[in-house]
Each structure stands twice: as structure tokens, then as C-alpha cells.
Chains A and B, each alone.
Chain A
Amino acid sequence: MPEAAFAAQLPPSGHLLVALGAVAALLALAALGVASAHRPAGRPLIYGGALAVTLVAGLSALTAIAAPAAGMVLPLGIPWIGTHLRLDALSAVFLAVINLGGAAASLYGLGYGRHDHAPERVLPFFPAFLAGMNMVLLADDAYSFLLSWEFMSLASWALVVAHDKEAGNVRAGLVYILMASFGTLALMLAFGLLAAGSGGGYAFDAMREAPPVGAFAALVLTLAMLGAGSKAGLVPLHVWLPLAHPAAPSHVSALMSGVMTKVAVYGFIRIVFDLSGPPDWWWGIPVLAAGGIAAVIGVLQALLQGDTKRVLAYSTIENIGLIFIGLGLALAFSANGFPAAAALALTAALFHVLNHAAMKSLLFFGAGAVLTATGTRQMDELGGLIHRMPATAVVMLIGCAAISALPPLNGFASEWLVFQAVLLSPDLPAWGLKLMVPAVGALMALAAALAAACFVRLYGVAFLGRPRSPMAAGAQEVDAFSRAAMIALAATCVLAGLLPGFVIDALQPAVGGLVGETMPAQGSVAWLSIIPVAESRSSYNGLLVFAFTALSALLAAVAIHRFASRAVRRAPPWDCGFPNASPLAQYSAASFAQPIRRVFARGLFAAREKVEMPPPGALTPARFSSSARDPAWAFLFLPLTAAVGYVAERANTLQYLTIRQYLGLVFSALVLLLLVLALWT
């Protein structure tokens, strides 16, 4: 390594040492998990330890956001290069998100893990997975970044196939590991291009010194979108999410969906905003397009699913789309000379990262609680859980409202900020962006509306109405640890929604480091409002909305009880002359989605409905079935696998050549290479 790289090395800080200590402690817990998996004390030991470590690391990272960047070189890894570590504001933001999400998952796992029939397949990998994600965020050279990235992928793969006896889980693991390898390959190529620009230095510092130019930069952007997008779930690289997230145990699903996708977002931000130099004017366009498509396709697919965890996995794709829209806007504004607007868009994206981590973890915990209580993930076998599981029902209601972007919760605050950035787009000089950004804004509005429908459906079918199966009728509220984890996350959602100004202010060091400008300070605005651009344009006050909502609801309730009737009466509803209707006559998940399925899903998703009517007099019941496909499978992956199969079939003849033909192959390869050398040098 050149001496200059060491001379410019940042000093280490206490925060960095805490983060490193956390990684070491998590790895030690992983080793401990191997040793103690079969003992009854293993579960509380591992999850309790992971809870303590991630809590400390998360709080330390929270305070590290405003601290100056710290760095360190450890003499590990490739000789002469070593392992470069760095903790700046951006990695601190993501470290906080990951470790606090990890702490919630560990707390939940304390209770949820009790029902695991094969703890030895989960306990060692859970802390290893957390350690891998932490290492990605600390890495400051391409080698350790890719190594940690791959470590994270493999640990989470092991968790996906933990329950390998259940149908489909092994296939989910296969699809996941293929997509993860593809993503790592793309990132490796991206880093290769970045390192080539800096004369082969693999440290990020060297890459920052010599950012790629022209076609190289475009290639780096594409590869970063492929690599990070395949991990985050951008369409059409999203196919592994709805398979792998439901397959893992619920607290791991929460980590993978709520937290690991954020590591992918971090990778994208690190490569595109930090290492690739100043953006070109058009860089925002592909990112915006990918984000808009992911948002709409993700939420439409979520509406078509009948499995609670699959709904949540597809909803993750939608939210990743929203985050990428924010990032695309930030790129577009930053490249066209509007750093203040870029700061707004980037803040919105980072805020949504935080929010989505909280609410998606909460929703997966809720789905896991329902799974524990009823033994099923199928919405059509649930119903009426609000009576049997009141605490879970309340926190799930908060989670569903938050992810549907209802004020005064946190989902609204961040999506509102993204829209504020969209509304600034008429200032952009390039016509392509001027036309594109409002279109993406429209897609986003559509996605937000559909997300509300999706979560009304999820909550209504699972928690309201009457139980559709004996399992749902006999459900029991989950244990205290799981409830505590869910309540903590729900409180986070409410707090971040009521007081968005403080969150926005806390994010500014990371934003300022990336786009060179920060949003105006929100903490000093009167009445805890937030004013993203100017008071004349827009402002939002979560507390006010909350107070208004609460007050008007209270008034309405009081008025109804006061002026209508005080008495609570229980009476059968009007039943069209069919008393004691079966619970199966309620709206089902499929019937609730039918209008949207018919309007939106006929073409692209090829949604079809089939009704089998028995002939008059026959005693068989009528049957209704609906089907839909994922266009990514139909148009991309199935043709791709068919092509691979075809080539493999053709190449199979190579297994049956004679010895002389093999020698001939070697010989002609040698001669060909020599010919190339002779003709081209």
C-alpha cells in the first residue's frame, strides 16, 4: 500500500471500538450457539446476549452519527492491504437501524424461539447474521466489504433453510443463494471498476480519490443497482424475497426483510453517492424508474397473496421502491445543482429506511405471533384474532396504519417528505427529469393507496370478523417477550411519527456528508412542526394531527353515546333470512382483493378466476379458484433457466468426447491463444 493511504488514515474512536467489540461479541455468541444449542439454557443465553450486544452497539451508533468520522486498519485479510474500517455518519445511521432492529428481534426471539423444534439450526446463525451485517457497515475496503456481504448472505441463507423439512423452503434457499451470489458478483465487478480508476487500490479512500468517469461511471451505477438491488428486492430481482422471507423463522424474517434490505440500501448509497464521485444529470432516471416499478409491482403482488408473511415480503419490495425513489430524487437534484432539494430527498429516503425497519419488523413479529398462536400463515384460516390476542391486535393495527402511511404515524412522515421532494421537480432543468419525476410521483401515490388497501385487507381478514378455523378460534395471546418487542417497535413508530423533526435533525450529518448540504434544522421550529422547504410551501405537525384525530374521535364517541343511546345492546345483525351464517361466508382475502385484482392484475400478472359450478342436482360444492403469476418469473427467470438448461444439454456432449478429441480441444485452445498473441501484439 502507498504510504499516503496510511498518512490520511482517520483516527479511531470509542464508537468504532464499541462497534468492533460488538462484532467480536456476536461472533463469540455464534460459536457459543454451536456449543449450547441443545441445552435449555442456550436460547436465553444466545438471544439475551445478542439483545445486550445489539442494544449497546445501537445506542453507541446513535451517538456516533453526530461524531466525527473514525477509521482504523487492522492487520487482517489480504497481506499489505489489511482490513480498513471506518465509522462515519452514514454507517452510524445504518448501524443504529440494524442494531436496534437486531435488538428487537433478539427480544422477540427470547419468547418466539421457545417454539423452535430445531434450535441448533437457528441459534448459531442468528448472531453470526447480525455480526455480518455490522461488518458490512464498518468495512472501508472492497475486500472486507465483499467478504462481510457474503458472510451476511450465507448466514441468512442458513437461517432460510433452517426448517428444511417444510415444503418449499429448500427451493427458497436455492433461489436466494443464487440471487445473492449474482448480487455479490455484480458488486465485485463494480468494485473492480472503481479500483481500476484508482490504480488498483482496494481501500475506499483510494476509490474516492479517483472516481470513475463516463461509461465506467454508468457501468458502476448499473452494477450497483444490480448488486444492491438483488439484495434489497428491486424488480425484477425480487423473486427470492417472497420465497425466502416466509421460509425463515419469524424473527429472522423480520431481520431479513426489515434490516438486511437496509444493508443493501447502504451498499447502494455507499457506492453511488460516496465512491462514484459527482453524479451525472441522468443518474437519477434509472434509479427513479426502478423504484417506481418496484413500488407498484410490489404492492400489487402483495394484494394477490393469501399468506401473511408473503404479503409482508412483497410489501417490503414496495417500500424498497419508495426508498429508491428518494435516492433517485436525491441523485437527480444533486447532479443538477439543487443540493438543498437533494438533502430533502436523501433525508426522506433515510427516514423511510428507519421507518420501514421498525414497521416491517413489527409486522413480521405480529405475523409470527399469529403463526405461533394459530399454526397457520394463511389469511383465510384466520379471523377474529382481536378478541383472542388483544395486545398483538393493537400493535399490529399501529404497524398496519404506519405502513399504509396514515398520519400521524412515521410512515406518513417519511412518504410525505418524499412527496415534498417530488413537488420540487419543476425546478429541474432537464426535460427528461421534469417529465419523469411527476410520473414516478403518480406511481408512488398509486402504491401508497394500494398499500392502504393491502393492509386493510391483511388486518381486516386476520384480526376482525369471526374465526374461520378452529385454530383461530382457540388462539392464545403470545408470551411477554414477544409482546414487549412488538410494543417497543410500535412505540418507535408512534414516536417517530409524532416527532419527525428530531429524527430529521439526527439524520443531517449523514445527509450533509453525501450531498454537501443539509436540511434546515427542524428541532427549533415552533410547536414541533416540520418545514422541509419553506413555510409558505408546506409544513406538517404530527402532534397536531394526532391531537385532532384523537379529539375528534373522542368527541364523536362521546356524542354518539351521549345523544344516541347509552346502553350497549347485543343483537344479531340482519342476516338476509339466513341465520347462523358460516364464518366462511365472510369476506376472504381473495374476495377482498377481487376488484383490484380485476382492474390491475389481469394483464401483467395474468390473474385469472375460475368458478366451477356443479350441475343442478349434484351434491358437490361450487369451487372458486384464482391464480396469478409473477411477471419476473414468466418473462425473465423461466426463459433464463430454460436457456441455461438448453446450453447445458448441448454442452453435455462434451462429456462424451474421445481422448484424442479432448487433447484436440486443449491443442486448439493453445493454438488459438497463440494466434491471438501473434496477431494482436
Chain B
Amino acid sequence: MIEHAITPNLVFDVAHMFAGALVLISFLMLYQDRLYALLNVFALQAVALALAVAWQAYAQDAPHLYVTAGIALVFKALVIPVALHRMVARLGIHRQVETAVSIGPTMLAGIALVALSMVVMLKATPAADALAREDLAFALSVVLLGLLMMVTRRNAVSQVVGFMSLENGLILAATGAKGMPLVVEISVAFSVLIAFIVIGIFLFRIRERFDTVDVDALDRFRGGRA
């Protein structure tokens, strides 16, 4: 990376900016309480991820990362959001407000999680180089925010989106670490796609059977305490 025309400082700052953007967009997703808006923000996050990965590819001089960026752009920014969009339209749930925990506490919890991941990562990796450190801290934040999203949402579609956003964090972490083989990335991408297909099929099956995609309804049918 020394031979690049751009100074290392700038490389660091730009990578920092994209990773930070991912975290910021995660917060945006936490704030959305309508499904269409949520899907749009998710697509935006995928675009940010693609940019971040592409920048890593440029900075690390690792051309295979461009493929990862391409996969992120095509599948996560286009195919999956569009498919989810159509699914929501077909299910007719685009008007549902479906947060289980209200926005304010969720945002506060999110801030606490970001602080936690910063503290953990900066403590755990004093020996690693600064770019990877920051990247890992942001990636952990995105993962935790994705999990938080899955926990605080009631609708199966937004849980899927939480899961996908969690996976974005994983990809960010993976590309930040140097020397990640392409095969691994492609297989991760594929597994996410398959998870998406399976979940999509299940959504329709659930809907067919129970007339709702509110997961609490499933628990009521199962005889548990909702």
C-alpha cells in the first residue's frame, strides 16, 4: 500500500468514513418503523458496504475483494431489497408498525452497544494495525446493532433485514482482515442468499397457515406465553 499515490492517512480516513457510514445506517435502520422505509435503508447500507469493500480492495491491492463488493452491490443492494419489497407488497403488510420496543430506548441501547464494541475491540487488539482495529470495532457495532434489530422487531420481515444487516457487519470485518480467500466470501454470500430464500419461503408458508407474519402469533399457536 506504500506505493499508492494516495497517502496512508487518506486511505485510513476513507476506510474509516465508509465503516462509520455503515454504523450510522444501522442506526437509521433502528429508527425506521415502516417496512418500505426499512428496506430502502437496508439497500443503502448494502451500497455503503459495497463502497467500503471496494475501498479495501483498492487499499489492500486485493482485486478479488472487488468481486465481494460486486456481490454485495448486486445481491444485497438490489436483488434482496427488491424481492423483499415485492414480498411485503404481496403480503400487504407495508403499513404495519411493528416495533416491540419503542424507538427511544432502542436507540439508547444501540449507542451503548457501539460504545461497548469500541471498548472491547480497542482493548483486545492493541497489537493489530490501526485500520484493521477501527474496522473491526465498527464491524462489531454493526453486528450488535443487527442483533438488536432482530430482538426488538416483531415482524418476521424486519427480523430478516436485521439478520442481513448483521451479515453486512461480518463481511465488513472479514474484508478488513487481510488475506481472506475469495472462496470464503463467495460461500458466505451464497449462504446468505440461501438463508434469504428459505426464510422467504417460510414467510409465505407462515402467512398461509396463520394469516400473519407477526412472530408472536406463532408463539400463541405454539402454546407459549407471548
Contacts and interface: CB of A to CB of B under 8 A. Distances in A.
A408 B225 CA distance: 74
B17 interface: no
B151 A658 contact: no
Nearest to A670: B147
A674 interface: yes
Given A664-B151, A667-B147, A656 B116 contact: no
A674 B116 contact: yes
Given A667-B147, A670-B147, A671-B144, A659 B120 contact: no
Contacts of A681: 123-124
Contacts, number: 51
A663 B150 contact: yes
Greatest chain B CB density within 10 A among A656, A658, A664, A681 is at A658
Nearest to B223: A656
A677 interface: yes
B226 A674 contact: no
Given A667-B147, A667-B148, A658 B116 contact: no
Interface secondary structure of B, over-half rule: helix
A544 interface: no
A667 B151 contact: yes
Interface string A644-663: 00000000000011111001
B147 A658 contact: no
A26 to B, nearest CB: 48
B225 A663 contact: no
A674 B117 CA distance: 8
Contact of B215 (A659, A666, A678): A659
B224 A657 contact: yes
B67 interface: no
Contacts of A656: 222-225
Interface string B93-130: 00000001000000000000100110110011000000
Contacts of A659: 159, 215, 218-219
B185 interface: no
Contacts of A658: 215-216, 218-219, 224-226
Given A658-B215, A658-B219, A663-B147, A677 B224 contact: no
B154 A660 contact: yes
A679 to B, nearest CB: 9
A675 interface: yes
Interface in B175-218: 215-216, 218
Interface in A479-523: none
A672 to B, nearest CB: 11
Contacts of A671: 113, 116, 144
A660 B215 contact: yes
Contacts of B225: 656, 658
Interface string B133-175: 0000000000010011011011000010000000000000000
A678 B219 contact: no
A663 B151 CA distance: 6
B116 A675 contact: yes
B123 A678 contact: yes
Contacts of A664: 151
A659 B202 CA distance: 15
A681 B117 CA distance: 14
27 contacts: A656-B223, A656-B225, A658-B218, A658-B219, A658-B224, A658-B225, A660-B100, A660-B151, A660-B215, A663-B151, A664-B151, A666-B147, A667-B147, A667-B150, A670-B144, A671-B113, A671-B116, A671-B144, A674-B117, A674-B120, A675-B116, A677-B120, A677-B124, A678-B119, A678-B120, A681-B123, A681-B124
What are the nearest 8 A-B pairs in CB distance?
A656-B224, A658-B219, A678-B119, A678-B120, A664-B151, A667-B147, A659-B215, A663-B151
Given A660-B150, A674-B120, 6 more contacts: A656-B222, A657-B224, A658-B225, A659-B219, A671-B116, A681-B124
